[in-house]
Amino acid sequence: MASEMDIQPCAVDQPQAPSVIVDLTGQLENPGESMPVSGKLEVDGYSVGDKQLQLSDGIQYDVVLTNAGDGILVTGMVRAHATGECDRCLEPASFDVAGEIEEYYLFEEPEDEEAYEDGFELVGEDRQVDLSGAINDAVVMDTPFVVLCRPDCLGICPTCGANLNEGDCGCADKAEQDWVDSDENPFAALKNLKLDD
């Protein structure tokens, strides 16, 4: 059954995404050993900031877990097809997500946490890791800051609200003509000025 996930970055009180637990019991015991893991996170959509985005087929993930000696390095990709609202014209807009995952899960709490600039997670005492946070981060990082229905979207008219991709509404020309004819135009007086030959 699909669920809704909210993957706003740095949000503390947001609902948790479905867990993606990988059990390492009896696996990756020695440095250098690796294990591929792939699957699909069944979610209908997510939000980033004030954007609400729908996912047509969840989030596919394909990662490799490697024992790096002091922890498990997870690298790989997430893929999804998202649909939302165009930021310019408010019509439906869609895009593909292809985000990279790189997460480190340490076996023990480090003595110097500042040595891990990009942060870290811990492998649980039960030798399990939850990949959902890394998957969420990868999706957020690959979500465009501005979602557009097409690169050259003209947006909507600020005067009448018409979708300018469907044709010119005439408001811009009317506003320009009104300004040319107005008393606020510093050049309006020149049009009545007659020059002597």
The amino acid at 121: E
**Percentage, residues of the chain above pLDDT 70:** 78
Q: Is 5 exposed, middle or buried (0-12, 13-18, 19+ CB in 10 A)?
A: buried
- Predicted pLDDT at 193: 57
CB count in 10 Å sphere of residue 119: 9
pLDDT at 78 over 70: yes
pLDDT in tens, 106-162: 998 887 777 767 667 889 888 999 999 999 999 999 999 999 999 999 999 998 999
Q: Tally the C-alpha atoms within 13 A of residue 98's C-alpha that lie toward its C-beta.
A: 2
> What would the two tokens of residue 15 be?
């609902």
Band (10; pLDDT cuts 50, 70, 90) = very low
Do the beta carbons of residue 143 and residue 9 sit within 8 Å?
A: no
Closest residue by Cα to residue 46 from 78, 82, 77: 82
